[in-house]
């Protein structure tokens, strides 16, 4: 998802001076005689001076600063000046692929199961991830990127996350869900690490693509979600997986297989549920629209800060690495905080504070140390809220449409992800404009999240009816924030006490 930050990096560049021998960015003689200066005192990277008429004209050849980048698709295909949009479209096409996959594969994961969609998408992710490195031209490159997006995030990431959440009970959902997001942060750092070590953009993309090899073992190691099996009437298979879990965990407990196998699952009656069911009933519809905006806003700010690292001064690989690294303590704190303060409070607070950090950073000198610190703080906060939104969504919606709900949220997130590189182009009009857009949307969504019900220590709903009745009357404004959460936690512990004995 972030590989273009290095594979398609756009380093500092200037027009190639007529008759210039070599292509050194810094050492050309009398640059000022050939390149006009902008009002801010910087060189115009897109124009040359006509020595005869003393007027400027657009150039068609560029010299790139190779201090950090020796090879990239942006350098090979010149994603600069009036072709700058091509780099933004390449990133957006991946996000549109994720959007398409969320619509298509999200429903398929609810219909055919989490495991088959995850595993086959992982195989295609490996093929496309390596194949995109050898795209011969820009158009084949963006088509493969589009297909890569379909199977990458929507095909592997979302079903993998949903399966993770459905394999554990309420007391472990926070740890497992946030750990899943922490793996994304380590991948973020690997993007920077491999980019710093490998200077050839084709080899770099091949290495990125080969990371999908670690997913291949899931064909044999992964079990299907017992919740999904149970909800779809495949009770014997669901019970068999639970028995396997009991044996693996060395828990001395017997299950009456014949009794459970003959019981009707919670969704019995031939209920065919899909993404449209999220909008058929009033409470589910409101929750769906609210959580979709949260996905949209979190993705917008997250990728806005991640993709715009080029505006920060210093080693771009180090900055990118730190942008990933700041997420790790964010997730550690989040794991402990969300089981005490609740999902709603953490999500809303961090989105509001993250939006404020974007506004502050935009109004400071971009690239200055203080501005950079606010960018890092904003990334710390938004990484936390984005991680909680995954957990929150999985816990809010019923099993029969959980993957569809996650897919819909992912669609909204990738819509904003696709728009992010295009919004960043607005810095040509005003450097503050992109960050201001990110901040306003984050603030609005953070406030609306307060109207969602809390899910801490609640059983996940199974059927559409369960989802419609979940958390009725529970909003931030009908509950005292920390006090209500503590009461719910104490109540849950009291209910669990007989089971422990």
Global pTM reads 0.70
For residue 204, the model assigns a pLDDT of 92
Q: Stretch 270-297: mean pLDDT, rounded?
A: 80
Residue 405 has pLDDT above 70, yes or no: yes
For residues 173 and 73, give the distance between their C-alpha atoms in angstroms, rounded to a whole number.
41
Task: Parse the chain into domains and list their residue ranges.
Answer: 229-263, 277-500
pLDDT band at 205 (very low <50, low <70, confident <90, very high): very high
For residue 206, the model assigns a pLDDT of 93
Residue 194 has pLDDT above 90, yes or no: yes
Residue 209 has pLDDT above 80, yes or no: yes
Better-scored residue on pLDDT, 278 or 200: 200
User: SS3 letters for 123-151?
Assistant: HHHHHHHHHHHHCCCHHHHHHHHHHHHHH
Residue 269 has pLDDT above 50, yes or no: no
Kindly state the percentage of the chain with pLDDT values over 70.
84
Residue 207 has pLDDT above 90, yes or no: yes
H/E stretch holding 377 reads helix 369-396
pLDDT band at 10 (very low <50, low <70, confident <90, very high): confident
For residue 446, the model assigns a pLDDT of 87
In CATH terms, the superfamily for domain 277-500 is MFS general substrate transporter like domains (1.20.1250.20)
For residue 44, the model assigns a pLDDT of 77
Mean of pLDDT over the chain: 79
Residues 6+ apart with CB under 8 A from 419: 92, 300
User: Residues 12-45: pLDDT tens digits?
Assistant: 888 887 766 665 666 655 676 777 777 766 777 7
Better-scored residue on pLDDT, 292 or 366: 292
For residue 483, the model assigns a pLDDT of 53
For residues 172 and 319, give the distance between their C-alpha atoms in angstroms, rounded to a whole number.
33
For residue 449, the model assigns a pLDDT of 87
Return phi, psi of residue 43, to 5°: -70, 140
User: Residues 302-335: pLDDT tens digits?
Assistant: 777 765 555 566 788 888 888 888 888 888 888 8
Candidate from 308-317, 395-404, 439-448 with smallest mean pLDDT: 308-317
Q: Stretch 362-377: mean pLDDT, rounded?
A: 70
DSSP assigned state of 29: T
User: Residues 153-192: pLDDT tens digits?
Assistant: 767 877 888 888 888 877 777 788 788 878 888 888 899 9
Tokens of 310: 């080029």
For residue 270, the model assigns a pLDDT of 41
């Amino acid at each position: 998802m972030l590989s273009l930050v290095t594979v398609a990096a756009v380093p500092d560049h200037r027009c190639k001076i007529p008759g210039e021998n070599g292509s050194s960015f810094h050492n050309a003689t009398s640059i000022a005689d050939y390149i006009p200066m902008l009002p801010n005192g910087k060189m115009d990277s897109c124009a040359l001076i006509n020595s005869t008429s003393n007027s400027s004209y657009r150039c068609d050849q560029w010299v790139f600063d190779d201090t950090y980048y020796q090879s990239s698709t942006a350098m090979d295909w010149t994603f600069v000046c009036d072709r700058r949009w091509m780099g933004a479209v390449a990133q957006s096409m991946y996000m549109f692929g994720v959007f398409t996959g969320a619509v298509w594969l999200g429903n398929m994961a609810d219909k055919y199961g989490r495991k088959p969609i995850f595993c086959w998408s992982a195989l295609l992710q490996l093929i496309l991830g390596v194949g995109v490195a050898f795209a011969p031209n820009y158009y084949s490159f963006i088509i493969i990127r589009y297909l890569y997006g379909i199977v990458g995030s929507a095909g592997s990431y979302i079903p993998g996350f949903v399966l993770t959440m459905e394999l554990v009970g309420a007391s472990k959902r926070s740890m497992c869900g946030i750990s899943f997001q922490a793996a994304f942060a380590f991948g973020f750092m690997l993007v920077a690490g491999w980019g710093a070590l490998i200077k050839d953009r084709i080899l770099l993309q091949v290495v990125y693509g080969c990371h999908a090899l670690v997913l291949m073992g899931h064909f044999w190691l992964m079990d299907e979600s017992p919740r999904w099996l149970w909800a779809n009437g495949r009770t014997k298979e669901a019970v068999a997986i639970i028995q396997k879990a009991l044996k693996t965990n060395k828990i001395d407990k017997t299950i009456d297989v014949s009794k459970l196998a003959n019981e009707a699952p919670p969704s019995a009656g031939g209920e065919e549920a899909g993404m449209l069911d999220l909008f058929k009933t009033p409470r589910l519809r409101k929750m769906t629209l609210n959580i979709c905006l949260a996905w949209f806003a979190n993705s917008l700010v997250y990728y806005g800060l991640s993709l715009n690292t080029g505006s920060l001064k210093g080693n771009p690989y180090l900055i990118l690495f730190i942008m990933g690294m700041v997420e790790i303590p964010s997730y550690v704190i989040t794991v402990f905080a969300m089981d005490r303060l609740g999902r709603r409070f953490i999500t809303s607070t961090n989105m509001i504070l993250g939006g404020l950090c974007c506004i502050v950073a935009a109004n400071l000198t971009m690239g200055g140390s203080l501005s950079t610190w606010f960018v890092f703080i904003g990334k710390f906060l938004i990484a936390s809220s984005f991680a909680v939104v995954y957990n929150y969504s999985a816990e809010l919606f019923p099993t029969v449409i959980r993957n569809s709900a996650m897919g819909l949220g992912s669609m909204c997130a990738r819509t904003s992800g696709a728009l992010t590189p295009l919004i960043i182009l607005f810095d040509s009009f005003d450097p503050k404009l992109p960050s201001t857009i990110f901040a306003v949307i984050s603030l609005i969504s953070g406030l609306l999240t307060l109207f969602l019900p809390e899910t801490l220590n609640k059983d996940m709903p199974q059927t559409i009816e369960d989802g419609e009745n979940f958390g009725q009357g529970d909003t931030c404004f009908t509950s005292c924030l920390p006090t209500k959460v503590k009461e719910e936690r104490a109540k849950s512990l009291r209910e669990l006490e007989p089971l422990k004995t």
